[in-house]
Structure 1
């Protein structure tokens, strides 16, 4: 059963074939009570269990065991824990605690429980105003199911005030999406490792259920090791992972305009409504905009989408009021629409396991759902970036531990950023890893060092890296196989029941129309060839700059701030992004004419209040010819004088280009100056100055240069970069 029992019964009529998972005998009394609970749950008098569901419930309710269920998406894992909850509560047990990874998933689970008459509540970061009410309901025994995120387990208030009582009284602990426990998995989350501590605090006979649809043998071994904390035996119930409703295919189109053109031409032909996955936020937003311009009812859904807007978009897709959501992996485990008609990928996920998880959104309650992958040449670059961002680095871990050990009080994440040169997202992940390993602890006010020794496990992380590289190659192999694609995915998940599905393009040939009308290609090309993205100015100096010897704090003064700028494209964009990546990867050279024309197009569509009257460049040590030719070329075409470049001081900016905001600013501050010649040319300049650079990332170089130019007499500075690193 999925998280929406009213829409997708988690059951099958008696006698429907489905491979058995367990062969444990189930008593008639339990069978009768469980079947009655199931029928209440799904609202069907003829509902019965799928093979393996009742056996899992019996192991939990009668055997009080720890059970790992690995079953395909849509099999009915939530039916197991909701029915087990009803039976345990009828016996007088305390509430079920479900550790669930995403707010969207919690929303679906709560809705499913309430429709079945199960009282479910949640404690999460978005409902802090309800915590008192929820705590009171728990104390009065009015809650059947409490859903919490793994991060909540380490919230100081929750951890100290509520978790001990919950651990001692809960009737069932459920770990949903349990593959997140394993750092071998495709979606490892350090906070899931905290569950091991929770398991050791449970009374001896508290049953535990862990569920996942995406775990190969290696991940299963890791999850079982975690579930066995305290010396408990773990029973693994594993079923076949083939999805009979899915019709898989791969359409290799190297050019981004061809992939987008295929979507423009054929999206309306796909069954029902569905999801179009993209690998980056920029790609999702650009594709959604292009499809809307072509007349398709779609919307973008990414990690940047506000929580309220996410809920609205999820409902729009459920109600079929949009044809598709163009989404990143932010729309994944947490979303349930049983009749989702298709899942398309513009770009491949980094492993077949991750791909199986995402395509599993489709076809849960339909006879057929179409699944098509359109890989791109940029996929491998994106895989490498995300893989490196998720792995801890020893030098950064050592710096964090040293800073916390030397501090007399807890340090917040913001305070740490002014001490250690680690970007916010990587720092937050690193703190979680160190916390789970016992080296640091989250307390009111921030983080402290525990004093426990910590060593970087180079061998372990090396093995994880090798495993991820193998999985990336498997994804390439999936794209290229001429065999059954469903069987390929099953094999990657170590499912030994794999056999040809008889539906995919490997079994029966292409089921999709691969033709792309010229009109669609022209539409796609015109959209992707349209350069120009906003380059937002910085509004605030980073906190704690005084620690780094930089006398800045608060808001950036209006008289030194840069104006909103433009870049030709983000490096992650489907169109110009790919061309700019190739340009910036190569040797320093003159700016190609087509890129200069794109810059002119950006300038022509800028819409500034006052036209620039001169051009200045940011000095570049890596690409001086490229930047100078950009500045002089724009000046020549726009009939604007090129005033020259700022000068490098003390060798120029230093530091890691991937560092955090505070260090990026400190590494630029005082290392750029307006030299005498440039100052003389700026004196009395009558209008805005166009400031050009090759790549904008943190935007601190442009911010500092803009301030220097304005102090030297420029009334306004308009920044222009070839590429935006985002």
Structure 2
């Protein structure tokens, strides 16, 4: 292409940009580094890896390149994109530039056939695909080959997800290697991310074929965000952090995001701030898709002051005038933190970024670290089970045979699929029989990297040096320098003081005990394959009533009290007096609430006529004291305990997936004859007391035994529930 041709191409590119940003004056111009990427893709048909800060304009690169390539007869652009929020934003942005964009993801299954037909007819310029689609058997085998053959540009957005060194590794992304291999020669590829250090960049480059040894363009820019003012507030406890938000949220500029580490915390914070008169909405993985979209729209239109969100609102959410990001709890990685705070200040001169770390952060980090790639013996066990099967095995069919939770099992299988050891087909998974090596060194190194990242976040919170420079150095930004804006450079901009009224209200909210404990209603699938004749719906006569827990371990209120008590290393001790008082409050509220025995409802169950405990090997003193003191306060007899069967007294009970748990618990407990007689003769239901409910299967099995022994109903009551 001649210089004149390139000049003409540049003019056309600027014209597309003007439409994309709704610039009616036609004066919008691509930055030089954006043009370099577009030129490499369109003029030279090269591969490019772009690592640039949030707000740099990566989406402008692929939309402008798409328009230019389509005008020259290329096929549609395929964008592999991780989140629905991103997809919705991208479809709207594309339309402004006259680009026809469609999506294929989990929220629009009813449209898939129509979208695929439109792509085949040449009516779609951009197809946004979720990474999970790449490993769906029908899509992978029937759609992907023809799509790869017709693609004019492949875009891998948020490309750090392809690397298990990255903060948001997603094994489905690795299926891209298959699509890359099937692309016709000369089809350009663009990989983009805002959050990748040197190691992640090198790994992504290698996996996408954009590394050294290929004729690829790598654009890596400085990561400073001149609009962001970073700060940390060290507050004594969760109540002070909530009170600070209530007192100071109105002082923060514009509208923004309050990030929490768990769904439970997001819901707690949302409820409290609403009680204090703030207009906020919750946004988590538990939020329905329609409610998510409404929340996004409300934030974009400034109808809410903030979304209280988990990392579900992470990559891809686009609101240029977002005025602040507050973290109630520290993410476990500087890279993840930088990625989330990068949502703010993209189109305004000043945005506030505040971190309010909490003492529960470490426990939450530990939980998420527990879902790392399994040890070799578990992987080999899964491969052996698949190899011995005479048919594909689904995840529910595998669960009774391997000790892995479903999400961890599925992630492991996806990695093994990309490695060639297993294959996903209709009906489940099969073993390929190909040799496979467990890369213990790599997995151990990843674990050490995670620990180093956690330490970096501890250091960030305590640092007296420039905070932006700290983050940029952790992302290997060679141009890192003091920003002059953060609280350490320019002084704190916010007081840590809170009003007595807000603090009292926060303590009341966090100290309010009680959460529902829904009973298990369906047996796990696959139990009959391991000789246990339980399947389908649990009969109503063998189900407990809805129970209660004092609090959730993921709560920022009661969770901080309960986590140390149920920790495996905790000493066994009687229930503390104040905790017993809170349990009594739970019982009182429970009795009077909807469905409670003192509610006055015509169909209300009878008042509990006695207390039964669940035998505990780890905390017998705690459970025993809780049961006996509840019996004393409630003036009910302590009827006895559901005990371990003699031959089960030393058995290991896995806390993995539901099928394995039920398989282990099925014959683990017995109702001693005196207890069976007592519950059968009792005038009403019994209160079943335990310390902790994780999966809920211990309570389900014990309740079933009591009901089969003649109990007139079972009300489970525990101190703590997992989530």
Q: TM-score, normalised by structure 2?
A: 0.95
- For the Cα contact (< 8 Å) 1:274–1:341, is it kept in 2? yes
Partner of 1:429: 411
Partner of 1:710: 707
Question: SS in structure 2 opposite 1:162?
Answer: helix
Cα shift readout 1:285-344 (whole Å, capped 9, x = no counterpart): 111111112221112211111112111111111111211111110111131111111110
Of residues 129-138 and 592-601 in structure 1, the stretch that sits farther from structure 2 once superposed is: 129-138
Match status 1:86 vs 2:60: no
Partner of 2:571: 587
Partner of 2:389: 407
Partner of 2:466: 484
Q: 1:615 to 1:656 in 2, by over 3 A?
A: closer
Partner of 1:37: 16
Cα shift readout 1:510-562 (whole Å, capped 9, x = no counterpart): 01122111111111111111110100011111112112222111111111110
Q: 1:26 to 1:378 in 2, by over 3 A?
A: farther
Q: 1:137 to 1:457 in 2, by over 3 A?
A: same
Which of 520, 528, 531 pairs up with 1:538?
A: 520
- CA–CA distance in structure 1, aligned partners of residues 129 and 650 of structure 2: 45
Q: 1:241 to 1:457 in 2, by over 3 A?
A: same
- For the Cα contact (< 8 Å) 1:685–1:713, is it kept in 2? no
Which of 212, 217, 221 pairs up with 1:235?
A: 217
- For the Cα contact (< 8 Å) 2:692–2:720, is it kept in 1? yes
Q: 1:655 to 1:323 in 2, by over 3 A?
A: farther
Shift of 1:353: 0.6
- CA–CA distance in structure 2, aligned partners of residues 472 and 26 of structure 1: 51
In structure 2, runs of 5+ residues without a counterpart are 598-605
- CA–CA distance in structure 2, aligned partners of residues 379 and 636 of structure 1: 37
Shift of 1:588: 0.6
- CA–CA distance in structure 1, aligned partners of residues 664 and 234 of structure 2: 44
Cα shift readout 1:460-505 (whole Å, capped 9, x = no counterpart): 0011111111111111111111111111111111111112212110
Partner of 1:262: 244
- CA–CA distance in structure 2, aligned partners of residues 100 and 66 of structure 1: 18
Partner of 2:291: 309
- For the Cα contact (< 8 Å) 1:652–1:672, is it kept in 2? no
Question: SS in structure 1 opposite 2:167?
Answer: coil
- CA–CA distance in structure 2, aligned partners of residues 653 and 565 of structure 1: 28
Which of 719, 722, 726 pairs up with 2:719?
A: 722
Which of 107, 124, 127 pairs up with 2:88?
A: 107
Which of 321, 325, 328 pairs up with 2:310?
A: 328
Shift of 1:232: 3.3
- CA–CA distance in structure 2, aligned partners of residues 543 and 683 of structure 1: 31
Cα shift readout 1:673-726 (whole Å, capped 9, x = no counterpart): 111221232232001210000000111111111111122222111000010012
- CA–CA distance in structure 1, aligned partners of residues 579 and 5 of structure 2: 70
Shift of 1:40: 2.0
- For the Cα contact (< 8 Å) 1:275–1:327, is it kept in 2? yes
Partner of 2:587: 603
- CA–CA distance in structure 2, aligned partners of residues 474 and 181 of structure 1: 23
Partner of 2:621: 625
Cα shift readout 1:134-173 (whole Å, capped 9, x = no counterpart): 2222222111111111221122222222211221221111
Partner of 2:600: none
Partner of 1:689: 686
Cα shift readout 1:42-72 (whole Å, capped 9, x = no counterpart): 2211111123101111111112111011111
Q: How does 1:41-56 map to 2 (within 5 A)?
A: 41-44=20-23, 45-56=26-37
Q: TM-score, normalised by structure 1?
A: 0.95
Question: SS in structure 1 opposite 2:48?
Answer: strand
Cα shift readout 1:211-235 (whole Å, capped 9, x = no counterpart): 0000001111101111217963332
- For the Cα contact (< 8 Å) 1:200–1:229, is it kept in 2? no
- For the Cα contact (< 8 Å) 1:546–1:552, is it kept in 2? yes
Of residues 264-273 and 62-71 in structure 1, the stretch that sits farther from structure 2 once superposed is: 264-273
Partner of 1:574: 556
Q: 1:495 to 1:362 in 2, by over 3 A?
A: same
- For the Cα contact (< 8 Å) 1:248–1:485, is it kept in 2? yes
- CA–CA distance in structure 2, aligned partners of residues 277 and 390 of structure 1: 23
Which of 590, 593, 608 pairs up with 1:612?
A: 608
- CA–CA distance in structure 2, aligned partners of residues 419 and 659 of structure 1: 11
- For the Cα contact (< 8 Å) 2:653–2:665, is it kept in 1? no
Partner of 1:18: none
- For the Cα contact (< 8 Å) 2:256–2:344, is it kept in 1? yes
- CA–CA distance in structure 2, aligned partners of residues 504 and 70 of structure 1: 24
Q: How many residues align?
A: 703
Shift of 1:652: 4.3
- CA–CA distance in structure 1, aligned partners of residues 410 and 653 of structure 2: 18
Shift of 1:125: 2.5
- CA–CA distance in structure 1, aligned partners of residues 69 and 503 of structure 2: 59
Question: SS in structure 2 opposite 1:559?
Answer: helix
Shift of 1:415: 1.2
Of residues 577-586 and 73-82 in structure 1, the stretch that sits farther from structure 2 once superposed is: 577-586
RMSD: 1.6
Cα shift readout 1:407-433 (whole Å, capped 9, x = no counterpart): 111111111112222211111111111
Of residues 356-365 and 140-149 in structure 1, the stretch that sits farther from structure 2 once superposed is: 140-149
Shift of 1:26: 9.3
Question: SS in structure 1 opposite 2:177?
Answer: helix
Which of 352, 369, 373 pairs up with 2:355?
A: 373
Q: How does 1:434-453 map to 2 (within 5 A)?
A: 434-453=416-435
Shift of 1:132: 2.2
Question: SS in structure 2 opposite 1:525?
Answer: helix
In structure 1, runs of 5+ residues without a counterpart are 1-23
Q: 1:495 to 1:326 in 2, by over 3 A?
A: same
- For the Cα contact (< 8 Å) 2:654–2:664, is it kept in 1? no
Which of 481, 484, 495 pairs up with 1:502?
A: 484
- For the Cα contact (< 8 Å) 2:266–2:284, is it kept in 1? yes
Q: How does 1:120-199 map to 2 (within 5 A)?
A: 120-199=101-180
Shift of 1:618: 0.3
Q: How does 1:326-405 map to 2 (within 5 A)?
A: 326-405=308-387
Shift of 1:455: 2.0
Shift of 1:273: 1.2
Question: SS in structure 1 opposite 2:370?
Answer: helix
Which of 200, 204, 219 pairs up with 1:219?
A: 200
- For the Cα contact (< 8 Å) 1:26–1:58, is it kept in 2? no
- CA–CA distance in structure 2, aligned partners of residues 533 and 414 of structure 1: 29
